[in-house]
């Protein structure tokens, strides 16, 4: 068991590192080939933040563990709000910008209810996976269109600002290709190791495929978001911290969840439609209510952060 835990941790480290190298190489190469910064930022870089979840979902689905892949997507969304946002708000209250309220949050609500509709019949089909992927492409294209049409939208949108700021500049093409290849090789290997070790640990504790995705894998793949959010608030960049969580949740539903249906359509664990999807919707509702803050100041305070973290601990207790 100790060896399995060591391999699991090494798998997480390798997964996050290789995803970062893959995004760095792909973004730098695209920039060198003349692709505009906006396009690179809103495709390669933005998608890269969910690369670990996407690769783990793919490996799980190919291993005939669709419940693990779906649990990873839903569990990551729950962890992002309850755990990541909770800890971040405890460190320092988060101010909520108007751009997030106008654009990202309504979209998060729409895609969250879309996820509910898909799992409500306890079967995830290829067509539903394809529909989510089409929605993801439409989301990226609409962001690009809105941003190119209005320069103020780029300044006011944390998803756009963060993605474009992360595009590497002046990277030699040879170096970009090298890191792209390294990422492409290590990403699937580390994801495979991670899934296998998580399954081994789960079997020792009698955990189901769904529970593996909701707990071990979801929490592990949410750690990069936690690090990014803490770094954001320490730099007084509240919008970037909150935008990172919302953007990751949108990507998890549209890009990560779609992979499970595309690669391995299957009957789902009844707990997904009867329990976990409603927890995800509840977490999303809590995020919106706390962001609106009817007293006039849009801010997620420390008390609310404590409530979110307590909700996560309670949820983990119930499912485990």
Between the two ends of the chain, the Cα-to-Cα distance in Å is 18
CB neighbour list of residue 154: distance below 8 Å, 6 or more residues apart:
38, 147, 160, 161, 164
Angle at 145 between CA 144 and CA 151, to 5 degrees: 85
Other C-beta atoms closer than 10 Å to the C-beta of 259 total 27
Q: Cβ-count burial of 2 within 10 angstroms (0-12 exposed, 13-18 middle, 19+ buried)?
A: exposed
Question: Mutual orientation of helices 105-119 and 126-149 as an angle, nearest 10°?
Answer: 170
Residue pair 291/81 in contact (Cβ under 8 Å)? The answer is no
Count the residues in the chain. 320
Chain segment 235-267, per-residue pLDDT in tens: 776 666 777 788 889 999 999 999 999 999 999
Q: What is the dihedral of CA 10, 276, 279, 142, to 10 degrees?
A: 80
Other C-beta atoms closer than 10 Å to the C-beta of 185 total 13
Residue pair 187/128 in contact (Cβ under 8 Å)? The answer is no
Q: CATH 1.20.1420.30: does it fit domain 2-319?
A: yes
Whether the predicted pLDDT of 284 surpasses 70:
yes
Q: Cβ-count burial of 73 within 10 angstroms (0-12 exposed, 13-18 middle, 19+ buried)?
A: buried
Chain segment 298-318, per-residue pLDDT in tens: 778 889 999 999 999 999 999
Please give the pLDDT value at position 289.
86
Which range in 111-120, 154-163, 191-200 is most confidently predicted, on average pLDDT? 111-120
Please give the pLDDT value at position 268.
94
Cα(277)–Cα(234) distance, integer angstroms: 32
Strands 94-95 and 123-124, sheet pairing: unpaired
Cα(144)–Cα(40) distance, integer angstroms: 10
Strands 94-95 and 266-267, sheet pairing: unpaired
Chain segment 123-172, per-residue pLDDT in tens: 999 999 999 999 999 988 887 777 667 655 555 565 566 666 677 778 89
Binned at pLDDT 50, 70 and 90, residue 50 comes out as confident
Cα(276)–Cα(205) distance, integer angstroms: 20
Whole-number mean pLDDT of the chain? 84
Please give the pLDDT value at position 224.
78
């Amino acid at each position: 068991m100790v060896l399995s835990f060591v391999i699991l941790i090494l798998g997480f480290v390798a997964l996050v590192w290789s995803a970062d190298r893959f995004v760095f190489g792909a973004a730098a190469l695209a920039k060198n080939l003349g692709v505009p910064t906006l396009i690179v930022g809103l495709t390669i870089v933005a998608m890269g933040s969910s690369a670990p979840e996407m690769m783990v979902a793919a490996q799980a689905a190919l291993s005939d563990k669709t419940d693990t892949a779906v649990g990873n997507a839903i569990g990551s969304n729950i962890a992002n709000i309850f755990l990541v946002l909770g800890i971040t708000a405890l460190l320092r209250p988060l101010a909520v910008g108007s751009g997030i309220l106008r654009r990202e949050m309504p979209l998060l609500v729409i895609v969250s209810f879309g996820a509910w509709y898909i799992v409500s019949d306890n079967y995830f089909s290829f067509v539903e996976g394809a529909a989510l992927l089409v929605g993801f492409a439409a989301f990226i294209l609409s962001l690009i269109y809105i941003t190119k049409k209005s320069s103020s939208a780029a300044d006011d949108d944390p998803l756009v600002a963060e993605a474009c700021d992360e595009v590497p500049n002046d990277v030699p093409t040879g170096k970009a290709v090298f890191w792209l290849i390294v990422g492409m090789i290590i990403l699937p290997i580390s994801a495979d190791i991670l899934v296998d070790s998580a399954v081994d640990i789960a079997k020792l504790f009698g955990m189901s495929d769904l529970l593996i995705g909701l707990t071990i894998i979801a929490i592990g793949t949410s750690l990069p978001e936690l690090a990014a959010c803490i770094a954001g608030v320490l730099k007084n960049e509240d919008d970037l911290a909150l935008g990172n969580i919302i953007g990751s949740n949108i990507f998890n539903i549209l890009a990560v969840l779609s992979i499970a249906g595309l690669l391995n359509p299957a009957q789902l664990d009844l707990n997904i439609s009867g329990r976990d999807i409603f927890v995800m919707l509840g977490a999303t509702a809590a995020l919106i209510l706390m962001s609106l803050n009817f007293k006039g100041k849009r801010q997620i305070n420390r008390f609310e952060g404590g409530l979110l973290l307590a909700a996560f601990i309670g949820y983990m207790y119930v499912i485990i």
